[in-house]
Structure formats: C-alpha cells, structure tokens
C-alpha cells in the first residue's frame, strides 16, 4: 500500500519543463551556453527545444554532421543526463539530405509522439512548410489521434502558424480546432525570434524568442532577449514564466495584439524617400498602422546630411498618410546615414515604443564608354570615370573596413567593374560582390581573393545558379587584393540606359556596402548610368 501510494504521488506531481528557443540567425554560443546553465540550475524534469539548433541550409553531409556534433556536444556537456525533446526547424531540416542527418544525429523522427514525466509531447514537423496547408494538418491530426483527452499533453512545433501573417485564416481555425478537440494544454513554437503568449479555448499558445539566436535589439517589454521558458504542468493546470540568464521577468510582456502593433510600427510606420545628395530636401511619409490616432515624436540625428528640423511631432489618423519634409545640405560624408528615432504609444495599455532606424541612401554613378580586359588589374584607359570609395557599414553607419575602392565602365552590352581593397590581417573571409536588378530579378556575382567566384540568380521562384554571361578574376599582392568583373547585360535582359546595382565587400565578418542598405529590393539599390543603349 505504501509503495502504491508513493507511485501515485510521484505520477500526480507537477511536471517542470524548460523550453529553449532558436539558436540560429547569429548563433551566439556563449548566450546558448548561459541558457543551458540556467536550465541546469533549475533541474527540470524535461527540456524541449522548439527548433533551429544548427545553421543548416547545406546539402554537405559532413558539414551537417559537424554542426550537429558541435551543438549536441554543448548540450550534453551543460545538461548531462536530462531528458531532451528536439523539434526540427527550417535550419535543421531544409531538404532531404538534412532530414537524413537529423534522423541519424538526433536518433528521432521529425514527426513523433513521446512520453516523459507523465506528459505527452506531440512533435509536429513544420520545418519545410512555408505556409499552413491541408497536408500538414492531416499529419497533425494523425499525431493528435495518438493522444488521450485525459493526457497532460503539449504540442511542439517550429513555425507558429497561429500568429503568422499571410496564413489562410480557415486553415488556422482548423489547426486551433484540432488542438482544442485533442484537449492540448500548451502549444509551443519558435521561428520568429520573438516571445508572444495567448490563450485560446483553454489552450496556451506560446512562441519563444531565442536562446542564442539573433533577435535584433534587446527589448525586455517586447519579450526580445535570450531566454529560457519555464513551463509547469499539473494535470490541466498551466504555469509559464520566462527566465533570463540574468533575471526573471514579470508576466506583463507584450500580448500577441501588442506585439503585432509594435511590429507594424517598426516596419510600416515610416516610409522615407531614399536620400539623394543631389536634392535639396528629404521626404518622410508616416503611415497609419490601424489602432487609432497616434502622436509620433520624431528625433533626427542628421549626421553629415544637415537635415532640419531635428525634431518634430506628427499626428497620424487611421486611413491617413502624412508626409513631412526636411531640408538637407549633404557634405562629403554620406555615411553614417541619418538616424531617425521614434517614440509613440501603442495598444490598449498605452505601452510606449521607442525605436531607431537609419535613413536609406541612394547612390548614383556613371559608367563611361571604355572596354576593359578582365585580368584583375586597372590598366590605363579601362576605367576613365571616378573612383567610388565611400561605403556604409552593415547598420548604415560609417564603414569600418580597410580601404575599399571600385570603378565601372561599359562597352557594347558589357558592364565592367574593378575593385581594389586593402588587406586587413589576412584574406580569410574576404569577398567582393556585385548585385544587379533587371526585369524584377536579381543577379549576384561574387569574387574571392584566391581566384574563385560564384554567382546566383534570384527570382520569385527562389535562388538558382547563374552560370553564363559573366566573368570574374581576382589577384592579391603587396597588401592589396583586386577583383574585376565583366557582366553581359544582354544575358540578363537589361536594355535600359541605366541599371539598378549595388556593390559590397565582406571582410572577416564585416560588411561594407556602396548604396545602403544592401537588399534584394530594387528601390534600395543604387543606379549605374550606362553611356550606351542596347539595340
């Protein structure tokens, strides 16, 4: 009788579960190890991860295995002997080769049901689901069919479709119905590197921020910081808190509604016209974000552009777009780009959002008529135009890399580029690239100091190899290395007297970009004026 009573007491005791977020998008192993140390100190019954432990996105089996060996080695060393439930993320399983590596290195199937400490864990693989679909819901329904309604159960997945924009609302409703019918206590996801929590029909839906991955700037109230989730299940009772390797935070972080509003503020409120040095003014449009009238306080750090005024207050009402103008008097230093800082209230609890963005800069240069020989050198007469040597860093600030300069010319249907770069310490991690936009598609060619080069084409169908219509040569000597390109514009379908382009350098983890920001987006790219027109 005593043994039976003891077993019943053990089975009825609450289950304590530590939840780890993504590690990708930066891969800060020091932060990851700190999160694991927090888990170790808390002594949970079970540890779960919501996906994206490795960088992935490669079909190289040896590289995939090496990535898994590294991260699993860290986990085993920091939390030895603990029960761990892993969930596949899009970095973990990108294609079939990565799935085989997952199965072998983790010893589990992507879809499965596991029992630990009296809790049923349903692992639903959404690693390769760009959007919620019927096939994915059918797999989920089959998994949930293995769960008893009286079971204490948790659904683990990577992509939080219940809060992602652009999803079919009827399919999201079907997902929530399946969860409700199975009497799931908690649904856990990751992927978006932002913490959110909501309750729906008795089920807690929780999305984790990262446990070592990149989340942008730290915002405690928005739930953006390296974190460990602490989930306690006692039958149908659910308790959840966030732990930080430094602190424990209260439960007044953003709701899904608040986080959505803040996201809209940071991504849609400001629409600056690209800065151009030839203009006398700069324009900034403020768009309504749909939650009522708002007062926006703007502060401008003009940097070298001389923008005036440096502060103003703008009231934006629903359905309205307000455009304000600044005078400008740019000097020689185009970077750092001006910094806009916004302060405004949002949401029903009048939280205050404060965030900063750099003003994008448009650059223009001429490609004079001259034919170059692609040999990695800049011979006399090949590039009669001006030298471009002003670059931005990855955040729109001043470039911190060693001296970089390039020139362009054009002849017939060919664009030529020559770049000369000072070597910092060594040539590891060095590359120089050219990005072109033509016909709504993007073309990128990149050269390396060892003579190697690669090129890709990007369209609505994704990335593909770009194999013809370009040439690249590089060489290194006397503390510098040089790269030279020739691109057949007819090959990529450009028949205009100007082409959208950008130029960038990678060096030991740093980035320098000519027209900031460096994005596959036509609006943000620079302009090269060609002194010819293709027939």
The reply to whether 436 and 463 lie within a common domain is: yes
**Average pLDDT in the 289-305 region?**
90
**Average pLDDT in the 64-84 region?**
96
Q: For 201-255, write each residue's pLDDT tens digit.
A: 999 999 999 999 999 889 888 899 999 999 999 988 999 999 998 776 666 778 8
Choose one of 228, 253, 278: the last residue of a domain. 253
Q: How confident is the model at residue 532 (pLDDT cuts 50, 70, 90)?
A: low
Residue 523, SS3?
A: helix
The reply to whether 179 and 211 lie within a common domain is: yes
Classify residue 3: in a domain, yes or no: no
Kindly give, in sequence order, each residue whose CB lies less than 8 Å from that of residue 480, ignoring residues fewer than 6 positions away: 420, 421, 422, 423
Q: How confident is the model at residue 493 (pLDDT cuts 50, 70, 90)?
A: confident
The reply to whether 447 and 326 lie within a common domain is: no
What is the structure's pLDDT at 9?
39
Task: Kindly report the backbone phi and psi dihedral angles of residue 160, in degrees, each rounded to the nearest multiple of 5, phi listed first.
Answer: -85, 75
Say how far apart CA 357 and CA 338 lie, in whole Å. 9
Averaged confidence pLDDT in the chain:
91
Across 69-89, b (16+ Cβ under 10 Å) vs e yields eebbebbeebbeebebbbbbb
Give the chain's domain count: 3
Classify residue 4: in a domain, yes or no: no
Kindly give, in sequence order, each residue whose CB lies less than 8 Å from that of residue 531, ignoring residues fewer than 6 positions away: 366, 367, 368, 369, 410
Choose one of 253, 280, 305: the last residue of a domain. 253
Classify residue 6: in a domain, yes or no: no
Question: Which residues are registered as beta bridge partners of 410?
Answer: 369, 415
The reply to whether 226 and 268 lie within a common domain is: no
Classify residue 75: in a domain, yes or no: yes
With DSSP H G I counted as helix, E B as strand and the rest as coil, what are the percentages for the chain, rounded to 5? 20, 35, 45
Q: Which helix (H) or strand (E) segment is 78 a member of?
A: helix 61-78
Show the domain range for 480: 364-530
Q: Is the pLDDT of residue 45 over 70?
A: yes
Say how far apart CA 334 and CA 275 lie, in whole Å. 10
Q: Which CATH number does the domain housing residue 429 bear?
A: 2.60.40.1190
The reply to whether 352 and 369 lie within a common domain is: no
Classify residue 1: in a domain, yes or no: no
In terms of pLDDT, which residue wins out, 12 or 278? 278
**Average pLDDT in the 276-295 region?**
89
The reply to whether 135 and 236 lie within a common domain is: yes
% of the chain at pLDDT higher than 90: 76
* DSSP structure class, residue 240: E
Q: Which of 19, 138, 142 is nearest to 86 (CA)?
A: 19
Q: For 370-411, write each residue's pLDDT tens digit.
A: 999 999 999 999 999 999 999 999 999 988 888 999 999 999
Task: Kindly report the backbone phi and psi dihedral angles of residue 315, in degrees, each rounded to the nearest multiple of 5, phi listed first.
Answer: -100, 125
**Average pLDDT in the 33-43 region?**
93
User: Which runs of consecutive H residues, i.e. helices, occur in 79-201?
Assistant: 96-106, 134-144, 169-181
Kindly give, in sequence order, each residue whose CB lies less than 8 Å from that of residue 347, ignoring residues fewer than 6 positions away: 254, 255, 257, 258, 261, 262, 291
Classify residue 222: in a domain, yes or no: yes
Q: How confident is the model at residue 462 (pLDDT cuts 50, 70, 90)?
A: confident
The reply to whether 170 and 214 lie within a common domain is: yes
Strand-pair category, 186-189 with 203-207: parallel
Q: Which of 420, 417, 451 is nearest to 434 (CA)?
A: 417
Across 466-496, b (16+ Cβ under 10 Å) vs e yields beebbbbbbebeeeebbbbbbbebeebebee
**Average pLDDT in the 77-81 region?**
95
| Long-range contacts, stretch 26-30, CB < 8 angstroms, 24+ apart | 26/212, 26/213, 26/214, 27/55, 27/212, 27/213, 28/212, 28/213, 28/214, 28/226, 29/74, 29/212, 30/212
The reply to whether 424 and 498 lie within a common domain is: yes
Classify residue 481: in a domain, yes or no: yes
Q: How confident is the model at residue 13 (pLDDT cuts 50, 70, 90)?
A: low
Q: Which CATH number does the domain housing residue 53 bear?
A: 3.60.21.10
What is the structure's pLDDT at 460?
77
Q: For 82-123, write each residue's pLDDT tens digit.
A: 999 999 999 999 999 999 999 999 999 999 999 999 999 999
Q: Is the pLDDT of residue 11 over 60?
A: no
Classify residue 176: in a domain, yes or no: yes
Say how far apart CA 252 and CA 197 lie, in whole Å. 11
The reply to whether 248 and 320 lie within a common domain is: no
Q: For 331-349, write each residue's pLDDT tens digit.
A: 778 999 999 999 999 988 8
What is the structure's pLDDT at 454?
93
Say how far apart CA 94 and CA 88 lie, in whole Å. 9
What is the structure's pLDDT at 400?
86
The reply to whether 430 and 451 lie within a common domain is: yes
In terms of pLDDT, which residue wins out, 160 or 333? 160
Choose one of 339, 358, 377: the last residue of a domain. 358
Rounded (5°) CA angle 38-56-21: 25
The reply to whether 268 and 368 lie within a common domain is: no
Q: Which CATH number does the domain housing residue 353 bear?
A: 2.60.40.10
What is the structure's pLDDT at 73?
97
Task: Kindly report the backbone phi and psi dihedral angles of residue 193, in degrees, each rounded to the nearest multiple of 5, phi listed first.
Answer: 55, 35
What is the structure's pLDDT at 509?
82
The reply to whether 274 and 161 lie within a common domain is: no
Q: Is the pLDDT of residue 8 over 80?
A: no
């Amino acid at each position: 009788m005593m043994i039976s009573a003891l077993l019943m007491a053990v089975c009825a005791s609450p289950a304590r579960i530590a939840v780890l977020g993504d590690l990708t998008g930066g891969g800060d192993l020091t932060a990851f190890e700190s999160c694991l140390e927090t888990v170790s100190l808390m002594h949970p019954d079970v540890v779960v991860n919501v996906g994206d432990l490795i960088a992935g996105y490669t079909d190289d089996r040896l590289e995939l295995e090496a990535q898994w060996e590294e991260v699993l080695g860290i986990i085993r060393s920091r939390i030895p002997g603990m029960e761990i439930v892993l969930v596949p993320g899009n970095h973990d399983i990108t294609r079939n080769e990565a799935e085989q590596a997952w199965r072998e290195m983790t010893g589990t199937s992507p879809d499965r049901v596991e029992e630990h400490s009296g809790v049923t864990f349903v692992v639903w693989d959404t690693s390769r689901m760009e959007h919620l679909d019927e096939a994915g819901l059918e797999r989920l329904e089959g998994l949930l069919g293995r769960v008893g309604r009286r079971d204490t159960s948790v659904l683990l997945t990577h992509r939080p479709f219940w809060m992602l924009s652009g999803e079919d609302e009827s399919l999201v409703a079907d997902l929530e119905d399946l969860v409700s019918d199975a009497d799931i206590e908690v649904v856990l996801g990751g992927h978006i590197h932002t913490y959110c929590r909501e309750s729906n029909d008795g089920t807690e839906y929780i999305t984790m921020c990262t446990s070592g991955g990149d989340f942008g700037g730290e915002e405690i109230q928005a739930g953006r910081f390296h974190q460990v989730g602490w989930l306690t299940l006692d039958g149908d009772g659910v308790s959840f808190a966030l732990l930080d390797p430094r602190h424990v935070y209260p439960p007044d972080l953003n709701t899904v509604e608040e986080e959505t509003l803040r996201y809209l503020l940071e991504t849609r409120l400001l629409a600056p016209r690209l800065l151009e040095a030839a203009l006398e003014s700069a324009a900034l449009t403020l768009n309504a974000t749909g939650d009522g009238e708002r007062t926006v306080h703007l502060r401008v750090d003009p940097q070298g552009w001389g923008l005036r005024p440096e502060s103003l207050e703008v009231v934006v009402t629903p359905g309205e777009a307000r455009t304000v103008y600044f005078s400008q008097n740019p000097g020689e230093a185009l970077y750092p780009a001006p910094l806009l800082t916004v302060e405004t209230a949002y949401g029903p609890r009048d939280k205050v959002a404060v965030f900063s963005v750099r003003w994008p800069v448009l650059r223009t240069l001429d490609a004079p008529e001259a034919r170059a020989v692609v040999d990695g050198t800049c011979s006399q007469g090949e590039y009669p135009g001006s030298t471009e040597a002003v670059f931005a860093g990855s955040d729109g600030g001043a470039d911190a890399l060693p001296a970089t300069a390039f020139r362009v010319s054009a002849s017939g249907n060919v664009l030529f580029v020559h770049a000369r770069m000072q070597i910092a310490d060594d040539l590891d991690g060095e590359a120089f690239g050219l990005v072109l936009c033509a016909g709504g598609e993007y073309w990128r060619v990149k050269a390396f100091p060892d003579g190697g080069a690669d090129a890709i084409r990007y369209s609505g169908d994704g990335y593909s190899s770009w194999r013809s219509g370009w040439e690249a040569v590089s060489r290194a000597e006397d503390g510098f290395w040089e790269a030279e390109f020739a691109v057949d514009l007819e090959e990529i379908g450009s028949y205009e007297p100007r082409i959208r382009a950008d130029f960038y350098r990678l060096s030991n983890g740093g980035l320098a970009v000519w027209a900031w920001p460096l994005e596959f987006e036509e609006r943000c790219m620079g302009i090269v004026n060609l002194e010819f027109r293709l027939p």
